[in-house]
Chains A and B, each alone.
Chain A
Amino acid sequence: MNTSDSLHTISLQKPDMSVTIAGVTFKNPVLTASGTFGSGLEYSEFIDLSRLGGLVTKGVSNVPWPGNPTPRVAEVSAGMLNAIGLQNPGMEVFIERDLAFLKDVDTKVIVNVCGKSVEDYLDVVRWLQNEAVDMLEINVSCPNVKEGAIAFGQNPDALYDITSRIKKEAAQPVIMKLTPNVTDITQMARAAEAGGADAISLINTITGAKIDIERRQFVLANKTGGLSGPAIKPVAVRMVWQAAQAVSIPVIGMGGIATAEDAIEFMMAGASAVAVGAMNFHDPYTTVRVAEGMEQWCASHGVDRVASLTGIV
């Protein structure tokens, strides 16, 4: 038995905020949610990126994707809808520009990968084999593109298949990012685990819509979009808890996290780490505030290891 654990000292010692997922150790449990942080360059004007546990990039595909027509975003109560459509400059530019920038940033780097076909995903995964990337997050959950993405995340057989094929090619540990737009999240979590996923992350956005009643039309050009922000937090906490019960691989929890208390709630539900998404847009300092707040919460509640909170409910 570890003596510091057994003494239960509400000590002056700083709590251990590190968490380990699939052999990768993060200095704290706070990551950025894909698509809400670019590759960090823009927000590096606001925060010190080395304060992040990890940085999850915007989704990248093998070739440039133009995304959807505008309007792409709409605000709703305590949240927002987006239908960006995974616009990205493609792998080649991503490696030259974004990964080159991230090389000098002292945080763990997780690259979010998207594609229209399994072959597209594999293409990106192979590109990244020799790059300075700590983990891959596979986007099988974007609700805003017509091909690929969510189609792989709503069918357990397809999810198992793509996971196992990616695992054969990937040089880094693989996180499968799951969609909440399914009947039974545990079925998807199990399929990812069976396919060999090293971890799962959830939730991606919940499909929604908003209508401008004066114009009698949808606000988003795509008609539907993904709902994010504090509005979805209770759904996310429920699904993280269900998924964590169903699998033994680590779960990364996200969905409307705005405060340290929210993040701790996700950890208690079963998350080993958390990600801040839409709230970055409200306040670019959210990630750092959440990380600092979690540390203070642990210190004031006599928790000497943040990882000990995972799944305690």
Chain B
Amino acid sequence: MKKKTTMTVLDSRMLAQDIWSLELAYAPEDIPQEVLPGQFAGLYPAGGDLLLMRPISICRWDSRRGALRFVYRAGGKGTRSFTGLKAGDTIDMLGILGNGYDLAKLRGKHVVLLGGGIGVPPMLELAAALQESADAGTTVTAVMGYRNNELFLKEEMEAFAQVLVATEDGSAGTKGNVLDAVRENEIRADVLCACGPLPMLRAVKRHAQENNIPAFLSLEERMACGVGVCLGCVAKTTKADEHSKVHNARVCVEGPVFPAEDVDLD
């Protein structure tokens, strides 16, 4: 069940340059279903002339505290408007959207999470979910790529995973990208889960193919409806998609998480 609901802000603060954390209070009736890591919600800029929701991935879902947390980049007009929110304010949310990661395919394995830039936040919820549900065999390594030494969410990630860092400017961890850190530290994954910019996802797909391991990629695309109606946010698929009957899958419904071999990123 998806809904458009008015949510109350618990906390809003800046974590790094243009990177903001927004925590919303939710009641079980707002979100009747279990939230899966990799899923997202649509947050609406208030008032004004912006009509469309902003798809933001879920960074933490804390059912005990009744808190749903998003970490987003304040890049455009819409997301910048969220930075003015204060505790007690309200915001409209469409959710919960998308498929999320299939944890059953990750359990009992050495899961390597690759988060690049604003692709880091959904990896936190994934690491937490894997730890909470972990049987003896599951181990998690998180490799997080940043522009510089503003290592947002790193400390929180350390509670759930072994953490490695890559920075573009070399100011922390491996100089380079997440795959440079994987190679430098000779990380051997059973399965990769990645979220980040398109060039990174292409490289992750190649790395997975070369090492013959499965990879799950979380894609980003411009969206309008968020629920599979408008067909704005399609990803090119390698096989004809079951719903569309053409080589396009809806990122908002069939995704945002896809097996790497199912999507054509070129």
Interface set, chain A 29-83, CB cutoff 8 A to B = 35-38, 42-43, 45-46, 58, 64-67, 70-75, 77-80, 82
0 or 1 for each of B33-59: is its CB under 8 Å from A? (1 = yes): 000000000001000011111000000
The reply to whether A70 and B229 contact each other, CB–CB distance below 8 Å, is no
Kindly report which residue of chain B lies nearest to residue A37, judged by CB atoms: B229
Q: Which A residues are CB-close (under 8 A) to B221?
A: 70-71
The reply to whether B51 and A36 contact each other, CB–CB distance below 8 Å, is no
- With both chains docked as a complex, state the minimum distance between the C-beta of B249 and any C-beta of chain A, in angstroms: 11
B229 touches A42 (CB 8 A): yes
Q: Is A243 an interface residue (CB 8 A)?
A: no
Write out the residue numbers on chain A whose beta carbons fall within 8 Å of the beta carbon of B94.
284
Q: Within 8 Å CB of A284, what residues of B?
A: 4, 94, 227
Spot the interface stretch: A2-10, A103-111, A275-283. Answer: A275-283
Please give me the residue from chain A that is nearest to B247 by CB atom: A66
Which of B51, B232, B248 has the most A CB atoms < 10 Å from its CB? B51
In the assembled complex, the Cα of A284 lies from the Cα of B233 at a distance in Å of 18
Tell me the count of chain B residues lying within 8 A, CB to CB, of chain A: 34
Nearest chain-B residue to A65 (Cβ)?
Answer: B246
B65 at the interface (CB under 8 A from A): no
Mark B1-33 against chain A: 1 for CB-CB distance below 8 A, else 0: 111100000000000000000000000000000
A235 within 8 A of B: no
Q: Which of B190-218 contact A (CB under 8 A)?
A: none
Which of chain A's residues has its CB closest to B241's CB? Answer: A89
Given A87-B244, A87-B248: A67 touches B234 (CB 8 Å cut-off): yes
Let me know if B245 and A89 touch, CB within 8 A: yes
Which residues on the A side are within 8 Å of B222 (C-beta)?
Answer: 70-74
Contacts of A283 in B (CB 8 A): 4
Q: Which of B71-111 contact A (CB under 8 A)?
A: 78, 94
**Separation of A89 and B1 alpha carbons in the complex (Å):** 25
B248 touches A36 (CB 8 A): no
Residues of A within 8 A of B231 (CB): 58, 67, 72, 84, 87
Check B140 for interface membership: any CB of A closer than 8 A: no
- One digit per residue, 1 when the CB lies within 8 angstroms of any chain B CB and 0 when it does not, for chain A 223-237 equals 000000110000000
Q: Is B183 an interface residue (CB 8 A)?
A: no
Q: Indicate if B223 sits at the interface (CB-CB under 8 A).
A: yes
Which residues of the other chain, B, contact A37 by a CB distance below 8 angstroms? 229
User: Smallest Cβ distance from A259 to chain B, in angstroms?
Assistant: 13
In the complex, residue of chain B having the shortest beta-carbon distance to the beta carbon of A90: B245
Chain B residues near A36: list those with CB within 8 A. 225, 229-230
Q: Is the CB of A42 within 8 A of B227?
A: yes
**Are B230's CB and A67's CB within 8 A?**
no
Q: Which residue of B lies closest to A94 (CB)?
A: B245
Contact flag A77-B49 (CB < 8 Å), given A46-B3, A70-B222, A89-B245: yes
Among A38, A77, A89, the residue within 8 A (CB) of B229 is: A38
B228 and A42 contact, CB distance less than 8 A: yes
How far, in whole Å, are A136 and B238 apart by their CA atoms in the complex? 34
A285 contacts chain B at the CB level, 8 A cutoff: yes
Distance between B101 CB and nearest chain A CB, rounded to angstroms: 22
B234 touches which of A35, A70, A89 (Cβ 8 Å): A70
How far is B111's CA from A219's CA once the two chains are assembled, in angstroms? 36
Instruction: Tell me whether B233 and A80 are in contact (CB under 8 A).
Output: no
Q: Chain A residues near B232 (CB, 8 Å)?
A: 70, 72-73, 82, 84
A285 neighbours in B (Cβ, 8 Å): 4
Chain B residues whose C-beta falls within 8 Å of the C-beta of A42 in the assembled complex: 225, 227-229, 253
Nearest 8 pairs between A and B by C-beta? Answer: A73-B232, A89-B245, A282-B51, A66-B246, A38-B229, A78-B49, A281-B225, A64-B245
> Apart from A82-B232, A282-B53, A284-B4, what are 17 other A-B pairs with CB-CB below 8 Å?
A42-B253, A45-B2, A66-B247, A67-B234, A70-B222, A71-B221, A72-B234, A79-B51, A80-B52, A80-B224, A87-B244, A89-B244, A278-B51, A281-B53, A281-B230, A283-B4, A285-B4
- Can you list 26 residue pairs at the A/B interface with Cβ under 8 Å? A42-B253, A45-B2, A45-B227, A58-B231, A64-B244, A64-B245, A64-B246, A67-B248, A70-B221, A70-B222, A75-B51, A78-B49, A79-B51, A84-B231, A89-B243, A229-B51, A230-B51, A281-B52, A281-B53, A281-B225, A281-B229, A282-B51, A282-B52, A282-B53, A284-B94, A285-B4
